[in-house]
């Protein structure tokens, strides 16, 4: 039904052999056959709504199996999937819709009244967390078995927005070949088969939950415990009947606080994967002591999916992100010079996983994607004598909180707009649960400006994970002789505010 370059073809070809895609509390299991039949009905509904090959489908909905079907249905219909965090405010969504100009917008029924006016002529559908909504009704009126629109390896399958340090979000364009090749590599490197049962508690608007966890499970034909969100009790209950868990560091720190995490509970598991933010060495040690398992840490980005991984067999070295994946080249650079082993520089990667560029931003693409295919990640790290990659920081000031990217400039711009604020600087500080949390250092002209007032001003403008969890006030920000704010000094001063 699908051509060989089609992402959906690769997923369906592997997946139809599996009996059950997911278990979900209170709802019946969904087989792979039902999953893809539903996806084909949605594809037909999207095409009936006027979706043409290459058109964008913007999606801001809660996690559900129907949302997975919407993802698959979009690529079957030849569309480009554009997932958006449900926590984004109307102001944030307005930018994404105006920039991406989607042909179809899908939102939660509760948000239809505020999202529809932003659609600019796009067809608007609704989809709730329980699978209801007019998208489901439209799909039910269609027959499965639709012929997928032919797509080549270089054709776009998805656009994921990742904010820039200038405050303007960038749409990373990912092709069918990017997604399929990376997922197939991870399936093989991490030894996933149709005998696996994956605990899926990650969000699916993000690379980790959608293009790593979901795609790898589909390609392997694995069964999935599909949880709507992180729930320590549900994960502990699922461990004895499961084989793998993919999570962010927050998952592991919270599970370590659960009395049900024991060697016996984890005895049937074969793999725990962590990514999206650095995992503390202490967390590695505690996890191994409690469960007998060593967490496998890996490194990826929105623009590249996964780049490196600690080995499935061999030493999983805490504090590192392992080796470049098969087919992925990695080098450490200082400008145009490749640095010596052990020397810190900026990580660059090249391979079939690397994105196609930024949507409607040729200048930004040229800045970060070299003509010969090397992508300048902006992350700083080094290679040790054994070839392990260690990330030591970021060349840019991005904060990763709970696995989600927060770009300081966006937060600073909104704080600076608060009456009485002269200027601000936003940094990340180590947080025992989130990995990092946002700290804002503010200079005010009016002493009546309080942390509570700033928090209130941001509450309707920013998703919760972007909002400062600690706000400090200074008479002036530290600067160098060139007038640049010294965020390194601020990190040193406020690095321990969360304990």
Of 20-34, 81-95, 213-227, where does mean pLDDT reach its minimum?
20-34
Q: Taking residues 157-168, what's their average pLDDT?
A: 74
Res 167 pLDDT > 60: no
Please report the pLDDT score of residue 2 as a whole number.
44
Is the model more confident about 223 or about 483? 223
Looking at residue 491, its pLDDT comes to: 92
Interaxial angle between packed helices 7-15 and 65-76, expressed in degrees from 0 to 180 and rounded to the nearest 10: 130
Task: Note the pLDDT of residue 10.
Answer: 64
Name the pLDDT band for 162 (thresholds 50, 70, 90): confident
Phi/psi of residue 105, each to 5°?
-125, 130
Instruction: Locate 425 and state its tokens.
Output: 């600087």
Confidence at 114, pLDDT banded by 50, 70, 90:
very high
pLDDT surpasses 80 at 484: no
Whether 29 contacts 22, CB under 8 Å? yes
The pLDDT value given to residue 15: 54
CA angle 205, 207, 211 (to 5 degrees): 100
Is 288 in contact with 272 (CB distance < 8 Å)?
no
> Residue 111's pLDDT is what?
96
Q: How far apart are CA 309 and CA 353, in angstroms?
A: 14
CA dihedral 329, 334, 336, 339 (to 10 degrees): -60
- Specify the pLDDT at position 192: 96
Beta partners for residue 485, in sequence order:
479
What is the average per-residue pLDDT within 401-412?
86
- Give the pLDDT mean for 210-218: 95
Judged against a pLDDT cut of 80, whether residue 498 lies above it is answered with yes
- Is the pLDDT confidence value at 19 over 80? no
What pTM was estimated for this model as a whole? 0.84
- Mean pLDDT, the chain, whole residue set: 91
C-beta of residue 454 within 8 angstroms of C-beta of residue 415: yes
For the cut 50, the answer to whether the pLDDT of residue 164 exceeds it is: no
Q: Which two tokens stand for residue 473?
A: 């006030």
Strand ranges, E, within 191-309 = 197-200, 223-226, 244-247, 271-274, 296-301, 305-309
Say yes or no to pLDDT of 408 above 90: no
Which positions ≥6 away from 261 have C-beta within 8 Å?
Answer: 236, 255, 290, 291
pLDDT at 407: 78
Do residues 55 and 102 make contact, with C-beta atoms less than 8 angstroms apart? yes
307-313 average pLDDT score = 98
271-274 and 244-247 as β-strands: parallel, antiparallel, unpaired?
parallel
Q: Is the pLDDT of residue 166 over 60?
A: no
Residue 482, pLDDT > 60, answer no
Check residue 165 and give its pLDDT: 40
């Amino acid at each position: 039904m699908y051509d060989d370059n089609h992402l959906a073809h690769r997923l369906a070809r592997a997946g139809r052999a599996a009996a059950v895609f997911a278990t979900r509390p209170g709802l019946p299991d969904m087989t792979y056959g039902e999953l893809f039949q539903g996806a084909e009905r949605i594809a037909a509904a999207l095409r009936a709504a006027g979706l043409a090959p290459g058109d964008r489908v913007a999606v801001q909905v809660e996690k559900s199996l129907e949302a997975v079907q919407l993802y698959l249905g979009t690529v079957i219909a030849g569309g480009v999937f554009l997932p958006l965090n449900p926590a984004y405010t109307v102001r944030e969504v307005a930018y994404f819709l105006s920039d991406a100009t989607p042909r179809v917008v899908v939102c939660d029924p509760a948000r239809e009244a505020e999202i529809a006016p932003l659609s600019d002529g796009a067809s608007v559908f609704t989809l709730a967390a329980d699978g209801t909504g007019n998208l489901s009704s439209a799909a039910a009126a269609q027959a499965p078995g639709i012929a997928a629109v032919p797509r080549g390896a270089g054709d776009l399958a998805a656009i994921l927005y990742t904010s820039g340090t200038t405050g303007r979000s960038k749409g990373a364009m990912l092709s069918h070949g990017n997604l399929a090749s990376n997922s197939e590599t991870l399936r093989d490197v991490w030894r996933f088969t149709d005998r696996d049962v994956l605990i899926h508690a990650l969000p699916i608007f993000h690379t980790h939950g959608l293009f790593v966890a979901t795609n790898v499970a589909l390609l392997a034909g694995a069964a999935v415990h599909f949880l709507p969100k992180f729930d320590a009790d549900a994960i502990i209950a699922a461990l004895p009947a499961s084989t793998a868990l993919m999570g962010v560091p927050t998952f592991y720190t919270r599970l370590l606080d659960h009395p049900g995490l024991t060697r016996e509970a984890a005895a049937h598991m074969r793999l725990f994967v962590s990514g999206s933010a650095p995992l503390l060495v202490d967390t590695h040690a505690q996890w191994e002591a409690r469960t007998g398992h060593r967490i496998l840490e890996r490194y990826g980005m929105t623009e590249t999916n996964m780049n490196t991984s600690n080995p499935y067999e061999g030493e999983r070295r805490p504090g590192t992100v392992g080796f470049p994946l098969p087919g992925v080249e990695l080098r450490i650079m200082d400008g145009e010079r490749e640095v010596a082993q052990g020397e810190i520089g900026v990580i660059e990667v090249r391979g079939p996983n690397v994105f196609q560029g930024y949507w409607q931003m040729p200048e930004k693409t040229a800045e970060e994607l070299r003509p010969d295919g090397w992508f300048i990640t902006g992350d700083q790290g080094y290679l040790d004598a054994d070839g392990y990659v260690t990330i030591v920081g970021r060349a840019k000031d991005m904060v990763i909180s709970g696995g989600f990217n927060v770009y300081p400039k966006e937060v600073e711009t909104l704080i600076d707009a608060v009456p009485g604020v002269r200027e601000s600087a936003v940094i990340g500080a180590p947080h025992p649960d989130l990995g990092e949390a946002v700290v804002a250092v503010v200079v005010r002209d009016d002493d009546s400006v309080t942390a509570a007032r700033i928090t209130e001003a941001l509450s309707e403008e920013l998703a919760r994970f972007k909002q400062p969890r600690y706000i400090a006030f200074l008479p002036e920000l530290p600067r160098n002789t060139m007038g640049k704010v010294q965020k390194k000094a601020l990190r040193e001063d406020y690095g321990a505010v969360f304990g």
